[in-house]
Amino acid sequence: MAKNRYQFCFGPWNISEGGDPYGPPTRPAQSFDWKLAQLKKLGYDAMMFHDDDAVPDIDNKSDAQIRKEARELKKQLDGEGIAAEMVAPRLWFSPMTIDGAYTSNDPKCRKYAIERSLRCIDVARAMETDLIVLWLAREGSYLRESKNARKCVDYLVEAIDRMLAHDKSVRIAIEPKPNEPMDVAYIPTIGHALAIANLTADPKRVGALIESAHAILAGLDPADEIDFACAFGKLWSLHLNDQNGLKFDQDKPFASSNLRGAFNQVRALERNGYGKKGEYVCFDVHPFRPTKVEHWLKHLDNSRRTFLHLVDKARTFDEAKAKVLIADRNYQDLDQMVLEHLMGV
């Protein structure tokens, strides 16, 4: 397998219990400590957090209490040799975010969302990461006439500006997703994320996180999204996984549905030197619902293994031969060359 220059990461939610909108969990919940203990054993280096993964019940705690608990968690992580990759405000669970968070029609709810985000930054600083991820779950509409999308752009910029002003050292990575839970989201692609970044008070500190499944849901090729974000120096985190076409967000193991698509994502990461500035490769993957308890870390182990095999495949791809075929516009043989390389024949 490839000599590994990559560092790997997952979140506590990636060891999930199998519940879906149609049925209950199929595995019992595991404790946070148990999940943390599995991380190193699986060859991972860091954990990503929602603010309330780090400080449970965050809405009902004082600022001092939040900082204290986050510092204690940081000590626990240090003890295990695990870094905190990022912290993300969970802006989709509270009764205050039913009609949107930053883009709610209700000013009290918008205020809640911003204050919660500032607390999330305090958690991140106590855990010594400067990276805040925004998956903007409820910023969009179920009914277009219910919201003013022009105003919502201003609300989004205002919220990000408040976060940038709260702590001059944080960086914000927007994780676009075109739909689910919303019918249509306001920041569906990397292009939208970078355009919004440009409207903020400090565009240098606003970048992006690409999730493979989200790009596929937007009808885009995740590899091209990676190249696009990297062209701007804005790919600050990554959620690799897979998605079988346009359906619910599946968070399948990396390459599970489309090996060639995964190969092209890895090639894009390699040519852009992703990871060299300390960026992590995170797998936002979930076990299949029927998975038994004794197999429920396999999706994390397998995704990482597949990734490393694909790094080998990217590094052993015969670029010189491909160049000759491209110059000759012989895309038929280029196609077959890729297939045979992936099949190992």
Nearer to ligand XUL among residue 82 and residue 88 (C-beta):
88
- Contact between 239 and ligand XUL (CB under 6 A)? yes
- For the four alpha carbons of 100, 101, 104 and 109, in that order, the dihedral sign comes to positive
Are 255 and 306 within 8 A, CB to CB?
yes
Q: Smallest gap, in angstroms, from Cβ of residue 222 to ligand XUL? A: 13
Nearer to ligand XUL among residue 239 and residue 304 (C-beta):
239
- Contact between 35 and ligand XUL (CB under 6 A)? no
Clarify whether 50 is annotated catalytic: yes
The half-sphere exposure of 12 on its side-chain side, counting CA atoms within 13 A, is 21
- Contact between 177 and ligand XUL (CB under 6 A)? yes
- Contact between 10 and ligand XUL (CB under 6 A)? no
Clarify whether 154 is annotated catalytic: no
Task: Please name which of 83, 95, 90 lies closest in space to residue 53, comparing C-alpha atoms.
Answer: 90
* Residue sitting closest to ligand XUL (CB): 135
Catalytic residue among 51, 52, 53, 251: 53
Q: Smallest gap, in angstroms, from Cβ of residue 286 to ligand XUL? A: 9
- Contact between 284 and ligand XUL (CB under 6 A)? yes
Task: Please name which of 59, 67, 56, 180 lies closest in space to residue 113, comparing C-alpha atoms.
Answer: 59
- Contact between 205 and Mn ion (CB under 5 A)? no
Catalytic residue among 20, 33, 45, 50: 50
Nearer to Mn ion among residue 279 and residue 284 (C-beta):
284
Are 81 and 40 within 8 A, CB to CB?
yes
Q: Is the peptide bond before 181 cis (omega within 30 degrees of 0)?
A: yes
Are 287 and 302 within 8 A, CB to CB?
no
Nearer to ligand XUL among residue 181 and residue 273 (C-beta):
181
Task: Please name which of 69, 164, 83, 76 lies closest in space to residue 126, comparing C-alpha atoms.
Answer: 69
The secondary structure of residue 23, as a DSSP letter, is B
Could you list the residues that contact ligand XUL (CB under 6 A)?
A: 50, 88, 135, 175, 177, 211, 239, 249, 284
